[in-house]
């Protein structure tokens, strides 16, 4: 326990408190010896990153309980399960290989905030294979993962607004229609509008790609 606390940069007293609150899983025991591993250290570093981002211990405990019981982090954050996206199950090593040193406690905390990643035992579950592949591709092109997450927050805000516009449109003018059945129309509109917006933005002389809200 003392060795784990030293590696995590916390006191043994704090580590005992985290164990009592069930924020970390119990160690593997051999007789009177308790063995901790890299997964315990990663959990402690993630707890530290979450605390720095303003999460409370009660909130972190709720997340930890959800992880141990196999619930999706998206359920806790009000995101729900994706209806068309394919979750991806990865080991921490596989995730690190995809992002070339960008899987830090701070970035993992950001992924938890967004609901992109949940913890399932010794594995991580990413909520969407498409988002995982796109994020990895951007990192390979030199975009920091933290910047990808910041953009993801902004994109989600706009996506929520667009989804609200489409749902309100259908419910107001075609109340007898199944909104879920018509969702491919909304996706097609957004793909076309995004394509034309990219044409306008990328072909505009002197325009700054990162400008705007």
Q: What is the pLDDT of residues 129-153, one digit of tens each?
A: 899 999 999 999 999 999 999 999 9
Distance CA 43, CA 45 (A): 5
Distance (Å) of CA 34 to CA 7, 27, 120: 16, 6, 22
DSSP sequence for 169-200: HHHHH-TTS-TTTTHHHHHHHHHHHHHHHHHH
Distance CA 82, CA 112 (A): 16
- Tokens 């516009």 belong to 165
Q: What is the pLDDT of residues 39-90, one digit of tens each?
A: 788 788 878 877 776 777 777 776 666 555 544 444 544 444 456 778 888 8
The backbone torsions φ and ψ at residue 123, rounded to the nearest 5 degrees and listed phi first, read -115, 165
pTM of model > 0.85: no
Q: What is the 3-state secondary structure (H, E, C) of 87-127?
A: CEEECHHHHHHHHCCCCCHHHHHHHHHHCCEEEECCEEEEC
């Amino acid at each position: 326990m003392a060795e784990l606390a030293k590696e995590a940069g916390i006191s043994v007293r704090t580590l005992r408190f985290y164990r009592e609150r069930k924020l970390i899983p119990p160690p593997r025991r051999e007789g009177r010896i308790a063995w901790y591993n890299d997964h315990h250290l990663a959990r402690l570093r993630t707890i530290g990153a979450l605390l720095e981002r303003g999460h409370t211990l009660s909130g972190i405990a709720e997340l930890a309980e959800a992880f141990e019981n196999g619930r999706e982090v998206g359920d806790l954050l009000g995101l729900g399960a994706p209806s068309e996206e394919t979750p991806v199950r990865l080991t921490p090593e596989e995730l690190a290989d995809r992002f070339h040193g960008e899987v830090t406690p701070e970035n993992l905390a950001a992924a938890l905030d967004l609901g992109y990643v949940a913890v399932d035992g010794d594995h991580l579950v990413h909520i969407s294979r498409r988002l995982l592949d796109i994020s990895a591709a951007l990192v390979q092109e030199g975009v920091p993962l933290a910047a990808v997450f910041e953009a993801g927050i902004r994109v989600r805000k706009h996506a929520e607004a667009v989804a609200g516009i489409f749902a309100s449109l259908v419910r107001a003018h075609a109340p007898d229609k199944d909104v879920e059945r018509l969702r491919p129309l909304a996706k097609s509109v957004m793909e076309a509008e995004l394509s034309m917006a990219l044409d306008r933005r990328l072909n505009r002389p002197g325009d700054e790609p990162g400008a705007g809200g």
